[in-house]
Amino acid sequence: MRAKKNVNKKGISVAVINHGCKLNQFEGEALENGFRMAGFNVVNKKDGGKPDITIVNTCTVTNKSDRKSRNSINRAITAKKRQGLVIVTGCYAETNSEEFDKKDGVDLVIGNKIKAALPSIVLSYLYHLPFNENVNDLSFQFDSPQKPNRSRVFVKVQDGCSMRCSYCKVPFARGKSRSRNYEDIVDYVKTVVRNGYKEIILTGVNLGDYLYNNVNLPRLIDLLLGCERPFRIRLSSIEPFNFDDNLHDVIGNTRVAPHFHIPLQSGSDRILKLMNRPYSAQSYLDMVRRIREERPESHIATDIIVGFPTESKKDFLETIEVMRSACFASAHVFKYSVRKGTKAADLKDDVPYDEKVTRSNNVIALRDELNHQYRKSYLGKIREAVFEEHGGSWTGITDNYIRVKIVKGQPLSLEDLSKNILPVKINEVSREVNTGVIIGED
């Protein structure tokens, strides 16, 4: 679709297909906004949009993520218009660029560091202008995503990871840990809060590692809480070894949502050691107990990997035990997947696939049971919620991360609902869904 100089960009449609974690989704949505600002017409493939340019924002955390990303790329190539473009970006593009450089039908492969510049890269490409790929790290240059009827906004404050968990490919995809200037973060948060957002979700690849000029994560949270208008802060994933005394102190503030995602990975000390994770099952449980002393209502979420090399039945049962003791409110469950270049790839992947499936199913069943119990314990209770519209119906998201379908009509104007924190009473909890009413409106 090499455009002529005087092309009307409004006429060129772009779709972004996102894979992977919340951070990657955020970046993809921010890209959509960047394209919109640059004058392109952003379409959604799910709504039947037939884009001129498809951007596949890939993930490579497991083999399954690779496969899903490749499927999206292949579908985009099949649907490509005669003069269309297929662009591959994100983590898989960063780590396996040669694979995509060689692939017929892929027009551009863009790594993570310059991904934020994609709108200008595409413009340069269309107009046959040079683009200097040796620009500085653009990891924090993403436009804010703009979606109507939203009350929560992701704020990317950190990228990369300097840890070396033996199974993990993410450091190759995201680079060393680096943090965004806290002054920029405070300014940005002030702006979005002024625009009515009521929940700020601090996000990074390894958020607990945030450090900019001696300002660490607890200090950053303090600075943000110093900003005037009412809003609450939610933290994305934090590693257990980053949960220090200062962080324990700061989460005592009720404006920090009592919802903490802390990857356990395994409940076996032997496996944790092989994973190169510097904590024990007991120290993890001590940390959980301390969080619950500070905030008893805490929704504690986790990540679990089953079938790591040499994981015995006994190791696995230790994971189950720790899950029960920690009373996780939710969990992401992964089957171990060999990632080339990692330390664990040197170990024999010796847990048979069928056994991984069985262990994963057991963990998922326990996870669902614990999740239901957690939600049931809030039946009849009132929690502060922010609201989002999905397909015409409104969902409240409570501070302790229970999604509540609002059943009573539309009590307030849409504008009020999307830009307020309001108390919600949880009236019904089933395995699938929670329903409730806004207090004061029933």
For residues 251-266, b (16+ Cβ closer than 10 Å) or e, as one string? beeeebbbbbbbbbbb
Q: Are strands 152-156 and 199-203 parallel, antiparallel or unpaired?
A: parallel
- Least distance in Å: CB of 390 to ligand SF4? 23
Strand partners, 416: none
Nearer to ligand 5AD by Cβ, of 320 and 407: the residue is 320
Question: In this structure, are residues 177 and 217 in contact, taking their beta carbons and an 8 Å threshold?
Answer: no
Which region among 111-119, 266-274, 333-341, 402-410 touches ligand 5AD (by CB under 6 A)? Answer: 333-341
- From candidates 305, 322, 404, 417, binder to ligand 5AD by CB under 6 A: 305
Q: Which residues contact 309 (CB under 8 A, 6 or more apart)?
A: 274, 336, 344, 347, 348, 349, 350, 351
Count of residues engaged in binding ligand SF4, rule: CB under 6 A: 13
- From candidates 23, 73, 274, 287, binder to ligand SF4 by CB under 6 A: 23
CA distances from 38 to 28, 117, 124 (A): 15, 11, 12
Query: H/E element holding 23?
Result: helix 22-37
Question: In this structure, are residues 232 and 421 in contact, taking their beta carbons and an 8 Å threshold?
Answer: yes
Q: Are strands 41-42 and 13-18 parallel, antiparallel or unpaired?
A: parallel
Q: Does 174 bind ligand SF4 (CB under 6 A)?
A: yes
333, 339, 343, 346 alpha-carbon torsion, rounded to 10°: 110
Q: Does 206 bind ligand 5AD (CB under 6 A)?
A: no
Which region among 57-65, 73-81, 226-234, 239-247 touches ligand SF4 (by CB under 6 A)? Answer: 57-65
Amino acid at 357: V
Place of tokens 């060689």: 102
Q: Does 35 bind ligand 5AD (CB under 6 A)?
A: no
CA distances from 228 to 187, 223, 416 (A): 12, 11, 20
Nearer to ligand SF4 by Cβ, of 18 and 298: the residue is 18
CA distances from 337 to 317, 348, 435 (A): 20, 12, 37
- From candidates 25, 33, 62, 266, binder to ligand 5AD by CB under 6 A: 62
For the window 419-438, what string marks contact with ligand 5AD as x by the rule CB under 6 A?
--------------------
Nearer to ligand 5AD by Cβ, of 115 and 261: the residue is 261
- Least distance in Å: CB of 177 to ligand SF4? 12
Task: Write the burial class of residue 209 (CB in 10 Å: 0-12 exposed, 13-18 middle, 19+ buried).
Answer: buried
Query: H/E element holding 428?
Result: strand 422-429
Question: In this structure, are residues 172 and 160 in contact, taking their beta carbons and an 8 Å threshold?
Answer: no
- Least distance in Å: CB of 274 to ligand 5AD? 13
- From candidates 16, 61, 301, 426, binder to ligand 5AD by CB under 6 A: 61
Q: Does 334 bind ligand 5AD (CB under 6 A)?
A: yes
Q: Does 21 bind ligand SF4 (CB under 6 A)?
A: yes
Nearer to ligand 5AD by Cβ, of 300 and 404: the residue is 300
Q: Does 156 bind ligand SF4 (CB under 6 A)?
A: no
What's the maximum distance between 2 C-alpha atoms anywhere in the chain? 68
Count of residues engaged in binding ligand 5AD, rule: CB under 6 A: 12
- From candidates 14, 15, 16, 24, binder to ligand SF4 by CB under 6 A: 24
Per partner kind, with CB cut-offs from 5 to 8 A, the member of ligand 5AD, ligand SF4, none near residue 363 is none
- Least distance in Å: CB of 256 to ligand 5AD? 22
Query: H/E element holding 22?
Result: helix 22-37
**Per CB under 6 A, which of residues 74..113 are in contact with ligand SF4?**
91
Q: Does 26 bind ligand 5AD (CB under 6 A)?
A: no
- Least distance in Å: CB of 305 to ligand 5AD? 5
Question: In this structure, are residues 401 and 259 in contact, taking their beta carbons and an 8 Å threshold?
Answer: yes
Q: Does 59 bind ligand SF4 (CB under 6 A)?
A: yes
Question: In this structure, are residues 414 and 372 in contact, taking their beta carbons and an 8 Å threshold?
Answer: no
Q: Does 61 bind ligand SF4 (CB under 6 A)?
A: yes
Query: H/E element holding 189?
Result: helix 182-194
- Least distance in Å: CB of 168 to ligand SF4? 8
**Per CB under 6 A, which of residues 116..135 are in contact with ligand 5AD?**
none
Residues lying near ligand SF4 in the complex (CB under 6 A) are found at: 20-21, 23-24, 59-61, 65, 91, 170, 173-174, 205
Residues lying near ligand 5AD in the complex (CB under 6 A) are found at: 61-62, 167-168, 263, 265, 303, 305, 334, 336-337, 339
